[in-house]
Amino acid sequence: ADEPLVLGIETSCDETGVGIVRGTTLLADAVASSVDDHARFGGVVPEIASRAHLEAMVPTVERALKEAGIAASDLDGIAVTAGPGLAGALLVGVSAAKAYAYALGKPLYGVNHLASHICVDQLEHGPLPEPTMALLVSGGHSSLLLAPDITCDVRPLGATIDDAAGEAFDKVARVLGLGFPGGPVIDRYARDGDPEAIRFPRGLTGPRDAPLDFSFSGLKTAVARWVEARRRAGEPVPVADVAASFQEAVTDVLTRKAVRACKEQGVDHLMIGGGVAANSRLRALAQERCDAAGITLRVPRPKLCTDNGAMVAALGAEMVARNRPASGLDLPADSSLPV
Ligand code: KG4
Ligand code: ZN
């Protein structure tokens, strides 16, 4: 086949991801997560993540090659997340990618983590339209991005001014004593709750607020205050209702602003990516509002929304296909790499 065969390595946070794609076809998606090692700390501990990447790297690469049924010598390139992310964690992936690229004599492609969260949708729904509008919501980011060219031109239209959406889920879960990571647990509890039970604040939705920016720290504080007041009064905390009402506030703002961005830019489709895109209410509400606005919604399956290596491979393959220049072996890991 003529489509580029690319292996991608992702180590920006706590998942060691190695994926292999041929063009827009997914061949392997191996992920080793250290999430359980961080649970008792209530958040990702960078040193633990780096060490776990180091231990998981070679076995995960081997697992991916086996899963794809290919030999490393057949690859057309090695792609790796160069940033943004945890510095030490990124460094493990970048070093490994350089070692493989050098040893195999293959070109190396450093890619942006946010752009690869968008590009992964090609593995699910085929080539992305240009420009692509993306709502990127994860533990580290909440952004609206316009991508005229996913390999080299991704423009931020708005972003969170404080906590990321996933961070808000994690913090609220902690307040409710539900453990880490909070997103999936809150999603589960919210199914049995009433989203209208408590009216939590919608950040930055006033007439004078930046229309495409987000703020979730006030919401998190409002939830914590509400729960504290209940506890002080000796009353039981209706966990499902709090979870559902909090989730409603987050997803209401995210979807409202994403649809607004599409309308402002005249884009008729929306891609949602990042760990929070796995949220069932976000998916349902986005679908509802996109339908009402005549916007086509593209959301990859949950496993492709959370951090993985396939998304890195997907963007790497796009770079090969478009003859983008390869990175040198001096490619730096950049914890604050802009899109
Ligand atoms: O993209 P990701 O795997 O890693 C980062 O780059 O941050 O996103 C992880 C975040 C966590 O904050 C987690 O709580 C959140 O995604 N998350 C969810 C759900 N699944 C994961 N948030 C809401 N609902 C979910 N179902
Ligand atoms: Zn991510």
Summarize the chain as % helix, strand, coil (round to 5).
Answer: 45, 20, 35
Count of Cβ atoms closer than 10 Å to residue 40 Cβ: 9
192: number of Cβ within 10 Å? 11
Same domain, 108 and 154: no
* Residue at 277 is within a domain: yes
Asked whether the beta carbons of 293 and 159 are under 8 A apart, the reply is no
pLDDT at 42: 79
Pocket test residue of 38, 137, 138 for ligand 1, highest count of atoms within 8 A of CB: 138
Answer yes or no: is 179 a known binding residue: no
pTM score:
0.94
CATH of the domain at 96: 3.30.420.40
> Residues 47, 145: one domain?
no
Mean pLDDT computed over every residue of the chain: 96
Q: Atom 3 in ligand 1: which residue has the minimum CA distance? A: 306
User: Annotated binding residue at 187?
Assistant: yes
Q: Per the annotation, does 274 bind a ligand?
A: no
Verify whether ligand 1 is closer than 6 Å to residue 304 (CB atom).
Answer: no
The pLDDT confidence band at residue 1, using thresholds 50, 70 and 90, is low
277 & 237 share domain: yes
CA distance 72 to 7: 9
pLDDT at 195 (0 to 100): 98
- Is 166 in contact with 152 (CB distance < 8 Å)? no
Pair 153, 92 in one domain: no
Domain assignment present for residue 97? The answer is: yes
pLDDT of residue 2: 85
Please indicate whether residue 5, judged by its CB atom, sits closer than 6 Å to ligand 1.
no
* 110 and 173 inside one domain: no
Q: What is the pLDDT of residues 163-177, one digit of tens each?
A: 999 999 999 999 999
Ligand (nearest to CA of 140): 1
Q: Quick check: is 329 in a domain?
A: no
CB 151 less than 6 A from any atom of ligand 1: no
Asked if residue 326 is part of any domain, the answer here is no
Q: Are residues 254 and 313 in the same domain?
A: no
Q: Note whether 147 and 255 are same-domain residues.
A: yes
For 36-86, the pLDDT digits (tens) are 888 888 788 999 999 999 999 999 999 999 999 999 999 999 999 999 999
**Tokens 């919608």 correspond to what residue?**
202
226 CB contacts (<8 Å, ≥6 apart)? 198, 200, 242
Strand order in 108-112's β-sheet?
Answer: 25-33, 15-22, 5-10, 77-83, 108-112
In a domain, 336, yes or no: no
* 83 C-beta closer than 6 A to ligand 1: no
The percentage of the chain sitting over the pLDDT mark of 90, rounded to a whole number, equals 93
For residue 13, how far is its CA from the centre of ligand 2 (angstroms)? 7
Spatial separation of the C-alpha atoms in residues 9 and 67, rounded to whole Å:
15
Of residues 33 and 73, the one with the higher pLDDT is 73
Q: Which residue range forms the structural domain that includes residue 84? A: 5-120+308-321
Q: Does the CB atom of residue 166 touch ligand 1 within 6 A?
A: yes
Q: Is 220 part of any domain?
A: yes
Give the residue, 42 or 17, on which the prediction is more confident. Answer: 17
What DSSP character marks residue 277? G
Q: Is 279 in the pocket of ligand 1 (CB under 6 A)?
A: yes
Question: Is 90 annotated for ligand binding?
Answer: no
Q: 124: which 2 tokens?
A: 């699910």
Task: Report d(CA 245, CA 104) in Å as an integer.
Answer: 52
Answer yes or no: do 149 and 297 share one domain: yes
Q: Whose CA is nearest to atom 16 of ligand 1?
A: 275
Q: Quick check: is 327 in a domain?
A: no
What is the distance between the alpha carbons of residues 49 and 275, in angstroms, rounded to a whole number? 17
Query: Measured between alpha carbons, how far is 16 from 13 in angstroms, rounded to an integer?
Result: 8
Q: Is the pLDDT of residue 31 over 90?
A: yes
- Whether residue 241 is found in the same domain as residue 139: yes
Residue 101 has pLDDT above 70, yes or no: yes
> How confident is the model over 250-293, as pLDDT tens digits?
999 999 999 999 999 999 999 999 999 999 999 999 999 999 99
Say whether 105 counts as a known binding-site residue.
no
In a domain, 331, yes or no: no
**Res 286: pLDDT:** 98
| Pair (52, 95) in one structural domain | yes
162 is in an annotated binding site: no
276 CA distance to ligand 1 middle (Å): 4
Task: Indicate which atom in ligand 1 lies nearest the CA of residue 167.
Answer: 12
Peptide bond into 4 cis (omega under 30): no
Ligand with smallest separation from the Cα of 116: 2
- Taking only the tens place, the pLDDT of each residue in 135-192 is 999 998 999 999 999 999 999 999 999 999 999 999 999 999 998 889 999 999 999 9
User: Which residue has the CA at smallest separation from atom 10 of ligand 1?
Assistant: 139
Q: Is 275 in the pocket of ligand 1 (CB under 6 A)?
A: yes
What stretch of H or E contains 221? helix 217-232
Average pLDDT of span 6-19: 97
> 141 CA to middle of ligand 2, Å?
8
57 and 205 both lie in a single domain: no
Cα of 2 from ligand 2 centre, angstroms: 29
* HSE-up of residue 114 (Cα within 13 Å, Cβ side): 27
Give residue 281's pLDDT: 98
Q: Report pLDDT for 22.
A: 98
Instruction: Specify whether 40 is located in the same domain as 142.
Output: no
- The finding on whether 216 has its CB within 6 A of some atom of ligand 1 is no
Annotation-wise, does 143 bind a ligand? Answer: no
Per the structure, how many domains does the chain have?
Answer: 2
Query: pLDDT value at position 38?
Result: 87
Residue pair 317/21 in contact (Cβ under 8 Å)? The answer is yes
- Measured in Å, residue 183 CA sits from the centre of ligand 1 at 6
Share of the chain above pLDDT 70, in %: 100
Give per-residue pLDDT as tens, 199-231.
Answer: 999 999 999 999 999 999 999 999 999 999 999
Among 320, 324, 316, CA closest to 18: 316
